[in-house]
Chain A
Amino acid sequence: GAVVSQHPSWVICKSGTSVKIECRSLDFQATTMFWYRQFPKQSLMLMATSNEGSKATYEQGVEKDKFLINHASLTLSTLTVTSAHPEDSSFYICSARESQKPGNTIYFGEGSWLTVV
């Protein structure tokens, strides 16, 4: 079946540095991908909609300049956390909608743990 892969699965970075997380659709095309953030014992919070070939659409309260999203191909979206701080430590999850299927066929990645020290 369709798979969405995230890389890295976990990453530790120093405060003030930037870190990039990749989201790939492995066997399908996704013109639209989504990035969520999940703090421990909380729900998934939608951060932004990643649109292939155009700018991402951010949810209210999400800083565009801090969470850079690039969706340069039909199978890859990247989320870059710039100038990371400890409060950015979280579980980041992406999802992708299979473009060539009707309806709402959505696949989730396995998530990426970010720890900022």
Chain B
Amino acid sequence: GESVGLHLPTLSVQEGDNSIINCAYSNSASDYFIWYKQESGKGPQFIIDIRSNMDKRQGQRVTVLLNKTVKHLSLQIAATQPGDSAVYFCAETPHGSSNTGKLIFGQGTTLQVKP
């Protein structure tokens, strides 16, 4: 079936270190992936996205890597800051739903940044 999951429920890092959050997806036909950040009591906030025809995309302090061979997605945050503490979700567009806005979310990883 279609599902997006995450390897680790909680990631604790020291301020200034780099963070890597992982995600595994099961539908090899998915062609669009997004990483979201969610702070407590708020809606998801877009971080970065990537299409299946790419294997890497960089933003400001963030990089998303896509490995279609093993159906793995990762979010790298450089020089992690206390403000990065939140829950991070990967989401995918289900097969047949490209460009519809429909997303399936993974379980989420809590990122804790220690000062």
Contact of B93 among A44, A95, A102, A104 (CB under 8 A): A104
Partner among A44, A93, A106, A111 whose Cβ is within 8 Å of the Cβ of B101 = A106
Asked if A49 is at the interface (CB within 8 A of a chain B CB), the reply is yes
Instruction: Find out whether the CB atom of B42 lies under 8 angstroms from the CB atom of A43.
Output: no
Contact indicator B89/A104 (Cβ below 8 Å): no
CB distance from A76 to the nearest CB of B (A): 16
The smallest C-beta distance from B46 to any residue of chain A, in angstroms, reads 8
Inter-subunit contact B99/A104 (CB<8 Å)? yes
Given A32-B101, A95-B103, A106-B103: A43 and B44 interface contact (C-beta under 8 Å): no
Please classify the interface of chain B as helix (H, G, I), strand (E, B), loop, or mixed, using the class held by over half of its residues: loop
A70-112 interface bits toward B, Cβ cutoff 8 Å, 1 = contact, 0 = none = 0000000000000000000001010111000011101011110
Q: Does A34 contact B (CB under 8 A)?
A: yes
- A19 contacts the other chain (CB 8 A): no
Which residues of B lie under 8 Å from residue A103 when comparing CB positions? 99
Contact of B41 (CB < 8 Å), options: A32, A43, A45, A111: A111
Contacts of B99 in A (CB 8 A): 102-104
B contact residues, range: 20 to 34
Chain B residues with Cβ below 8 Å from A45 are: 105
Residue in chain A with minimal CB distance to B9: A41
- A-side contacts of B18, CB under 8 Å: none
Say yes or no: A43 contacts B100, CB within 8 Å: no
Q: In the complex the two chains form, what is the Cα distance from A6 to B89 in whole Å?
A: 21
Q: Is A56 an interface residue (CB 8 A)?
A: no
Distance to closest chain A CB from B106 (angstroms): 6
Partner of B32, one of A44, A104, A109: A104
Residues of B within 8 A of A104 (CB): 32, 49, 93, 98-101
Question: What is A's interface to B at a CB cutoff of 8 Å?
Answer: 4, 6, 32-34, 36, 42-46, 49, 91, 93, 95-97, 102-104, 106, 108-111, 113
A sample of 14 more A-B contacts (CB under 8 A), given A44-B44, A95-B101, A109-B43, is A6-B43, A32-B101, A33-B101, A34-B103, A43-B105, A45-B105, A93-B44, A96-B101, A104-B100, A106-B34, A108-B36, A108-B43, A108-B45, A111-B41
